[in-house]
Structure 1
Amino acid sequence: MAAAIARTATTWDDAPVALLDGLQQSALCELQTLLQDGTAFALESHFKFLADTAGSQFAAKVGAGIAHLYMDALGYAWRANAICLSSTLDPHADFIYGGGNASGHGVVLAEAHGSFARDASAAKIVNAAKRKYIKQVKPYVAKSSPFGAIIHGYSVAFGSKPTVAGSFLAVSETQISKLRKRTPPPSAPPRDVPLEGTPASMALATHRSNFLLMGAPDISDWIDWVRLPDSAPPERSDVPFLRLNYAGRTYLAASPRLPRLGGPPWWIEDFFDHHYWWRFAPRARLSPSCHPGSDFGWFVIEEKAGAEFLNALSGVIGDRGVGPPATMRLPTVEPTGFALSARDRIAEPDADEPYQYALFRDGLALLGEPFRGRLRDLVVWSPNEGMSTG
């Protein structure tokens, strides 16, 4: 939930990085303050002290996080803000998603709704999902968007009573008409379906948010530069990443820029015990104003997913004169830590205790216990040359 809310809080394609960083930190602070830990969704008792507008805003953030978990579990790996659908105040869905069953055909819309009301019920949440779909999704289905044709839409509504553990979830989506089966004539050769890449604009928007959450704003700055023709180029300096093993996979993490002690490139075996790590490691724990001593974990990215995107980004930087490509061929991974069924998919490779983490389809992960990871080495991304061993 924490990772999903942070992701949706930073899905604004053109908003300044500093603003998005503040929004996601605020969202995580609220989440930690207002939600109870446990197997069932429940609000803390002091939720009742929030003003009506503050409570509604928090419910909307949680609803957006739930919607993102649902869409990722359905197979949609790439996302962007749907503000591009209208330049007026006309209501529209919150997010545009790509990948999954929409690959090669277009993109889908997703509207998110959250409600924490004393009279919340399954019937009311179902009605909210239907109402939001009709008003904010249906008018845009079969229309065009900057990321491709909108071929389908979802409205995901989530609700809970402030004083009772448990929640309600409902989804309304575009109805799919069943086509009659037709037998092709014997002379008609079978048609090959071409493998389509991810719309480049959507991949860039997704990873802009990902590397911001990881604490690698240099990457977000380069993404902005290739997306915005009139922007000034960032400094062409290398960006180091830590490579670590965790729960049977290898991940890349933003490397804190620590004082160098002289000699060869800085390294330290007991990195996690170094006092600078607690100050500089991105998202390792919240700021002192948000419950000192508590943490959500560390945002990282699966190595193959991260490295292939960064190499593709270097290619776009080198070819900026001709503009970004229409598509990018990027890998995806099977999500871990959440599912549409009651059974969570949590890896347990040779461990007494399950690893606590969430891995999303595009490769971004939130490691709840980064101390269990084993640091391997340092790798470096160059705007000009791509990924290389440090």
Structure 2
Amino acid sequence: MSALISIGELWEVDVTVGLTTHTKHRHVPSPVSPLFEAPGAAPALTFGPVALAAAVARTATTRQARPRLLAGLQKSALAQVECLVSNGSAFELTQDFADLADTERTLFAARCGAGITDLYMNALGYVWRANAACLSSALNPHADFLYDGGNVDGHGVVLAEAHGSFAATATAKTVAAQARHKYTRQVKPYVDTRSPFGHVVHGYSVAFGSKPGTTGAFLSLAETRISKPKKKAPPPPADPIPAGRGVSTTIALATHRSNFLLMGASQIVDWVDWLTVPGEFPADSGPVTFVRLSYAGRWYLGSAFPIWPALFPRWWREEWFWDDPVWRHHVVGDLISRGLLGGSVGWFVMEETACTAFLNGLTGMIRSGGDGRPRRLELPTFEPVGFGIGESSGAPRADGSEYNYALFRDGLALLSDPLRLRKFELRRWSPKEGFQG
């Protein structure tokens, strides 16, 4: 698996797509959770190319499948985004899109629709994600993703259906019709139902479309209507709001399984899978090495596994290789000079406090043998960078031109060109001992 991706040909400016339609659909009971208030719909979504590429990869890997398959999906999805999205200030498909077969066009549209949905849900304040396949059998239509955090924290989860359409017939009207149709068919039946990740208390259907050969895109939203509260006191919730702070451990594991797969940390994916289905310890139970780097005013941890074993197959597991400061700086410096950790590539990393908090919690669960894992984990969240609501793509990017990256609310980030590692260290995490040093 590789955490490095080429994004040199992607467009370099942010694109803003306005919300063309927003419909609300009645539901009984309403609200499902009496104290839940849905965030206001974002009137527009602004995103950079790095954010779109990262979101497409995030959604392509948010499923319970073997890591090797997910790594292949990640690579193919990102390669398509690079080749098929034009370099311009408005969303437009390249001429190469016309050379795809019909099924390939449909697949690419679906991937972009899922990525846009992930960006939109993050922009609304939702943080943690999981695949919604758990809601029904494979034969029944169901929405794509479940989200936790933000306004739904303590109430349950919200359901999100993603739809993408890159057809000659794509218009604001047809995209809006798809958003409504998908809500009625794949979201509404599952609102007020149970899932392994929490009670579904609200639902969304996000449809994104563009007509090939034209400039611009359409974005439509359908969601559950919440009735105005009555004057009398609302009844108590069906389930008491969980005591304590943090996020459900179940959805945190699902989110970070995808995140660490994108980072190339396959050992951590294996440990998450072991917690889900206990059995023999993962074959590779040794420590995981991270590069600690400073970027745009924050510290991040990036997995060294995807690149270093291939470059230094004889030594990368030896203690002296990591403990010798001369080797440490020589190796990382060489990777930088060769463009393997910078230049024209992007690197999936995680904000240090988010990575440390999750892996510390993972160590505790591994030490306990997977039994009695905590119901919730205290994990930090962040304001998005590289995308956002309206005409702003999130928090300021320091001095502007030097940094080009996307940071999601759960701490996952995709760092793009230029990546200047002036300061770096190595940190190692042991499954049973935690971070060392």
TM over 0.5: yes
| Change beyond 3 A, Cα 1:101–1:346 | closer
1:41 aligns with 2:91: yes
Candidates 38, 41, 63, aligned match of 1:12: 63
Checking the alignment, whether the CA contact within 8 Å between 1:346 and 1:354 is kept in structure 2 is: no
Does the CA contact (< 8 Å) of 1:247 and 1:347 recur in 2? Answer: no
Q: Does 1:268 align with 2:329?
A: yes
Equivalent residues in 2 for 1:258-297, closer than 5 Å: 258-259=311-312, 260=315, 264-265=323-324, 266-268=327-329, 271-274=332-335, 295=345, 297=346
Matched with 1:288 is none
Q: Structure 1's 192 and 148: CA in aligned 2 closer, same or farther, altered over 3 A? A: closer
In the other structure, the counterpart of 1:101 is 151
Structure 2 residue 219 is matched with structure 1 residue 169 = yes
Q: Who is 1:250 aligned against?
A: 299
Compared CA separation, residues 217 and 321, structure 1 to 2 (3 A): closer
Partner of 1:122: 172
| 1:39-78 to 2 correspondences below 5 Å | 39-78=89-128
CA–CA separation in structure 2 for the residues paired with 1:328 and 1:74: 22
For the 8 Å contact 2:154–2:241, the answer to whether it is kept is no
Amino acid at match of 2:158: V
Give the Å deviation of 1:344: 1.6
Write out the 4+ residue segments of structure 1 that deviate beyond 6 Å after TM superposition: none
| Distance in 2, Cα, partners of 1:223 & 1:135 | 33
Partner of 1:84: 134
Provide the TM-score with structure 1 as the length reference.
0.89
Instruction: Give the CA deviation at 1:5.
Output: 0.3
- What residue number does 1:225 align with? 274
Deviation of residue 98 (structure 1)?
A: 0.9
> 1:242–1:375: 8 Å Cα contact kept in structure 2?
no
> 1:370/1:206 Cα in 2 relative to 1: closer, same or farther (>3 Å)?
farther
Q: Is the 8 A contact 1:240 1:379 kept in 2?
A: yes
For 1:148 and 1:210, locate their aligned partners in 2 and report how far apart those are by CA, in whole Å: 21
Higher RCO, 1 vs 2 (CA within 8 Å, ≥6 residues apart): 2
Give unmatched runs, 5+ long, in structure 1: 185-190, 286-293
SS in 1 for 2:425: strand
Counterpart Cα distance in 2 of 1:134 and 1:230: 41
Deviation at 1:346, TM superposition (A): 4.6
The farther-off stretch of 309-318 and 270-279 is 270-279
How far, CA to CA, are the matches of 1:17 and 1:322 in structure 2?
24
Quick one: which amino acid aligns to residue 161 of structure 1? K
Residue 183 (structure 1) shift: 7.6
Find out whether 1:23 has 2:73 as its counterpart: yes
For residues 353 and 427 of structure 2, the distance between their equivalents in structure 1, rounded to whole angstroms, comes to 13
1:289 maps to what in 2? none
2:10 aligns to what? Answer: none
Q: Does 1:384 align with 2:432?
A: yes
Shift in Å, 1:370: 5.3
Q: Following the alignment from structure 1 to structure 2, what is the Cα–Cα distance between the partners of residues 344 and 67?
A: 15
Kept in 2: contact 1:316–1:324 (CA 8 A): yes
Secondary structure in structure 2 of the residue aligned to 1:330: coil
Ranges in structure 2 where 5+ consecutive residues have no aligned partner: 1-51, 235-239
**Identity over the aligned pairs, expressed in percent?**
52
User: Any conservation in 1 of the 2:403–2:418 contact (CA below 8 Å)?
Assistant: no
SS at match of 1:339: strand
Q: Which residue of 1 aligns with 2:383?
A: 334
Distance in 2 separating the partners of 1:382 and 1:232: 14
Aligned residues: 369
Match of 1:156 in 2: 206
Report the RMSD for the aligned CA atoms in angstroms.
Answer: 2.3
